Structure 1
Amino acid sequence: MPLRAVPTAVWAGVLGVLLVASVIISVTIGPAALSPADVLSSVLSHLGIGRSSLSPLRDGIVWELRMPRVLTAAAVGAGLALSGAIMQAVTRNPLADPYLLGLSSGASVGAVVVVVLGWTIVLPLAAFAGALAALAVTLTLAGAVSRITPTRTVLAGLAVSSVFGAVTSLIIFWSATGDSYREILNWLLGSLAGARWPAVAIAGGALVVFGIPLLGSARSLDAFAFGDASAAALGVNVDRTRWLLLGGVALLTGAMVSVSGAIGFVGLILPHAVRLITGPGHRALLPLSALAGAIFLVWADTGARTLFDPRELPVGILTALVGGPVFALLLLRSRRLS
C-alpha cells in the first residue's frame, strides 16, 4: 500500500505510540541506569497511583530532572513543527520556518539583556516579550505601504531579523562578562538543559492554547495554496485570516523559544518530511507534523545530553547537524519526483 493511501488516523496512532515510547525510553537513558518500569513507577506515584519502588535519589532523577526536560522537548518540537507547516502555507514559501518573522532574533535580544543584567529568573518572560516586539515591528513594516502580502512579510522578517541580530551581538560585545558568555551561547544555540516543570507548563500550555486552534486552520491553509484571489473566492477572509494565523504562530513560537532558545531546522524539515506520507493537505499535515516534531526533538535532545558525556551539546547544534543533510536529501527526492 502506498504511504499516502494510509489513513491519517493510522499514522496518528502510530506516531502517538512512538511518542509515548520515546518519552519513556529517553528518560531511562543516562548515567543513572533506569528501566521503563522504574519510570512508570515514579510517574504513577506522583500522579497518586501506587507507591514508587525507587529510592528518593533515583525518583528525583526521573521526576525532577529527566521527565520535565523530555516533556519540554516534546512540546517544543511539536510547537515548532506545527508553526513551520503553517508558515510555509501562509507565505507560500517552502523555505519558511517559525523564525521567519524575526521571532528568534527578537527573543534573543530579550534573553541576552536579562542574562547580562543577571535577571535570569525572568528569562522566559523577556524572551517572549522580545519575540512579540519583533513580530509587531515585522507586521508593521510589512503593512506600512499597503495590505500585507507573503512577499512583503518575508522581506520585512528578514530585515527585522538582521537588525535584532545586530542588537544582540552589540549587547554581547559591549556588556557580557565571565560566565554570562557561556549562558548566552547556550541559549542562542538552543538548549533544554535547564528545563524543569515551569518550562513544561509554559510550552505545554502554549501548545494547548495556541496550537489546538491552529490545527483547525487546515481548510484556510489549503485555500491559501491557490493564491489570495482563489482563497477569497472560496470564502476565506484573506487579510483577517493571515493576520490571525501569523499572530497565532508568533505567540506559539515565542512561547517555545522562551524556554528552549532558538532550535533550528525542526520547523523547516519536519513538515517537508511529513508531506512525503500525507501529501499537501493540511488536515493531515498539521497534526502529524506536530507529532513527528515532538518525537524528533525528544531524541535529538537525548542525543545532545548523552552522546558526548560528560559534556552536553546544545541541542540546536545537533538539530542543525542532522537537519541540514536530511533537508538536502528531501530536496533531491523532490527533484527526482518532479
Structure 2
Amino acid sequence: MSFFVSDRAPANRVSGYKRRIVLYCLGALLLLLVAVAMGAAIGETAIPLDVIGKTVANRIFGAGYTLDPIEEGIVWSYRISRAIVAASCGAALAVSGAVLQSLLRNPLADPYLLGLSAGASTGAVLVTVIGIGGGMVSLSVGAFWGAALAFGLVALLAKAAGGGVSAQGTGQIILAGIAGSQLFNALTSFIITRSANAEQARGIMFWLLGNLSGVRWDDVWLAVPVAVGGVAVCIWHMRALDAFAFGADSAASLGIPVRRVQVVLIAITALMTAVMVSLVGSIGFVGLVIPHAARFLVGVRHGRLLPVTALTGAVFLVIADIVSRTAIPGQVVPIGVITALVGAPGFALILIRGRRMR
C-alpha cells in the first residue's frame, strides 16, 4: 500500500498543478472578456450587455437577432474593435517593459527606451505633413518604418559605443536610446514647426498623446497576432529571463546563449512597440508601471510574471480607454493623458513602498 501512495503522490501534484494552470487561464480569459464587454458597453451612449452579445452572435454566427442598426454599428464597427486593440496594445507594451527591465537590469526601462516612440512620431509626421509616399503610404505604415529606423539607429549607436546588444552592452543601449529619442523628437518638432498648418499640428499632437479613435477591424488583424505572438516568444524565454536576474555573465555560466537571447528579445519588444505605436500613437507608463505592479502580485519569476503582466496591461488599457471616452462629455481625452495621470502617482507609490520594504 505504501508503494502505491508514494507512486501516486507526484502524479497527483502534477495533475493539481495542471488544473491550477487551466483554471488560471480560464479566469484570465474571462476577466479579459469582461473588460472588452465593458469597453463595448460603456460610452457616451450606454448599450446593454445583451445587445452586445446579440451583436456578436449576429456578426459571427449569423444568429439573426433584430437590433437597432445604429447600436449594432456602434458596438461592432467602433467599440469592440477599439477595445480589442486597446487590450492587445496594453499587453504588448506591458510585457515589453517587463522584458526590458529584466534584460537590461534597469527598473526604469520601458518600451520607449529604444527611441521607438520618437521614431514612430517622426515617421507619422513625415507622411502627414510632407506627404512622403504620395498618398500611397498610410500614417500607420509611416509610423512603423520610423520606429524601425529609430531602433536601427539606436542599435548601431550602441554597437559603436562598445557593445550593442552583447552581454556588456546594456548600458550603451540605454544611453543610445535616450540620444535617439531626443534626436527624433527634435526632428518631429522641427517638421511640425516648418511645414504643418494649424489643423495638421493639432491632429498630430493629439495622435502623439495616444489616440484609439481611428481604430477599426483592419487594425485588429494586425494588433492581435503581433501581441499574442510577441508575448508567446517572451514567455518561451522565461527561464533565460530568470537567469538574467543574476547578470549576463551568470546567465552565460548557466548555459544561456546570452547574445542570441538578447537580440531576439530586444527585437521582439521593438517589433511589438513599433506596431502598437503605429496604430495608436504614444501611450506612456504602461510598460513602466504595470510590470512593477505585477511583481508585487506574483513575484519576479517570469513564468508567472509575464502572463500576469500581459493580462494586467490589457485590462488596464481597456479601462483607460473607457475613461478617456467618458471623462469629459462630448470629448475624447487622449489615452496617453489618462495613463500618465494614473501611472505617475502609481509609480511614485511603488517607489516609496519598495524603499520601505528594503
Query: Which category of TM-score, normalised to the shorter sequence, fits these structures?
Result: over 0.9
CA distance in 2 between counterparts of 1:41 and 1:269 reads: 36
CA distance in 2 between counterparts of 1:145 and 1:320 reads: 32
Shift of 1:86: 0.5
1:135 aligns with 2:169: no
1:191-210 alignment to 2 at 5 Å?
191-210=211-230
Counterpart of 1:165 in structure 2: which amino acid?
N
Q: For the Cα contact (< 8 Å) 1:102–1:161, is it kept in 2?
A: yes
CA distance in 1 between counterparts of 2:22 and 2:193 reads: 51
1:234 aligns with 2:247: no
Counterpart of 2:33 in structure 1: which amino acid?
V
Q: Normalized against structure 2, the TM-score is what?
A: 0.89
Shift of 1:49: 4.4
CA distance in 2 between counterparts of 1:56 and 1:308 reads: 26
Q: Any idea what the Cα deviations from partners look like across 1:16-67, whole Å, max 9, x if unmatched?
A: 3222111112211123331111101001111124123312111101101111
Q: For the Cα contact (< 8 Å) 1:75–1:207, is it kept in 2?
A: yes
1:312 aligns with 2:338: no
Shift of 1:211: 2.7
Q: Any idea what the Cα deviations from partners look like across 1:279-307, whole Å, max 9, x if unmatched?
A: 11111111110110000000001100111
> Of 61, 82, 86, which residue of structure 2 is paired with 1:73?
86
The equivalent of 1:47 in structure 2 is 60
Aligned alpha-carbon RMSD (Å): 1.5
Q: Any idea what the Cα deviations from partners look like across 1:112-164, whole Å, max 9, x if unmatched?
A: 11111354961111111111101101111111143331101100111111111
Unaligned runs of 5+ in 1: 1-6
> Of 103, 113, 117, which residue of structure 1 is paired with 2:116?
103
CA distance in 2 between counterparts of 1:56 and 1:243 reads: 49
Q: Rg: which structure is higher?
A: 2
SS at match of 2:352: helix
1:252 aligns with 2:272: yes
Q: In 2 relative to 1, CA 238–134 (structure 1 residues): closer, same or farther, beyond 3 Å?
A: same
CA distance in 1 between counterparts of 2:148 and 2:22 reads: 35
CA distance in 2 between counterparts of 1:27 and 1:320 reads: 23
> Of 40, 45, 50, which residue of structure 2 is paired with 1:27?
40
Counterpart of 1:132 in structure 2: which amino acid?
A
The equivalent of 1:174 in structure 2 is 194
The equivalent of 1:213 in structure 2 is 233
1:58 aligns with 2:78: no
More displaced 10-residue stretch of structure 1: 10-19 or 212-221: 10-19
Counterpart of 1:54 in structure 2: which amino acid?
L
Q: In 2 relative to 1, CA 214–251 (structure 1 residues): closer, same or farther, beyond 3 Å?
A: same
CA distance in 2 between counterparts of 1:255 and 1:90 reads: 21
CA distance in 1 between counterparts of 2:46 and 2:309 reads: 32
1:11-26 alignment to 2 at 5 Å?
12-26=25-39
Q: Any idea what the Cα deviations from partners look like across 1:220-250, whole Å, max 9, x if unmatched?
A: 1111111111000111111121111111110
CA distance in 2 between counterparts of 1:206 and 1:82 reads: 12
Percent identical residues:
44
CA distance in 2 between counterparts of 1:306 and 1:157 reads: 35
CA distance in 1 between counterparts of 2:326 and 2:126 reads: 30
CA distance in 2 between counterparts of 1:215 and 1:32 reads: 39
Counterpart of 1:135 in structure 2: which amino acid?
F
Counterpart of 1:45 in structure 2: which amino acid?
N
CA distance in 2 between counterparts of 1:29 and 1:164 reads: 37
Q: For the Cα contact (< 8 Å) 1:82–1:289, is it kept in 2?
A: yes
Shift of 1:316: 0.2
Q: For the Cα contact (< 8 Å) 1:38–1:53, is it kept in 2?
A: no
Q: For the Cα contact (< 8 Å) 1:42–1:53, is it kept in 2?
A: no
- Name the count of aligned residue pairs: 332
Q: In 2 relative to 1, CA 30–58 (structure 1 residues): closer, same or farther, beyond 3 Å?
A: same
CA distance in 2 between counterparts of 1:210 and 1:325 reads: 29
Q: For the Cα contact (< 8 Å) 2:231–2:310, is it kept in 1?
A: no
Shift of 1:10: 5.4
CA distance in 2 between counterparts of 1:214 and 1:11 reads: 19
1:123 aligns with 2:139: yes
Q: For the Cα contact (< 8 Å) 2:88–2:227, is it kept in 1?
A: yes
More displaced 10-residue stretch of structure 1: 193-202 or 259-268: 193-202
Shift of 1:213: 1.4
Shift of 1:9: 6.0
CA distance in 2 between counterparts of 1:320 and 1:8 reads: 33
Counterpart of 2:217 in structure 1: which amino acid?
W
More displaced 10-residue stretch of structure 1: 27-36 or 222-231: 27-36
1:150-169 alignment to 2 at 5 Å?
150-169=170-189
Q: Any idea what the Cα deviations from partners look like across 1:57-111, whole Å, max 9, x if unmatched?
A: 1110110111111111011001100111001011100010001000000000001
Unaligned runs of 5+ in 2: 1-19
CA distance in 2 between counterparts of 1:107 and 1:256 reads: 10
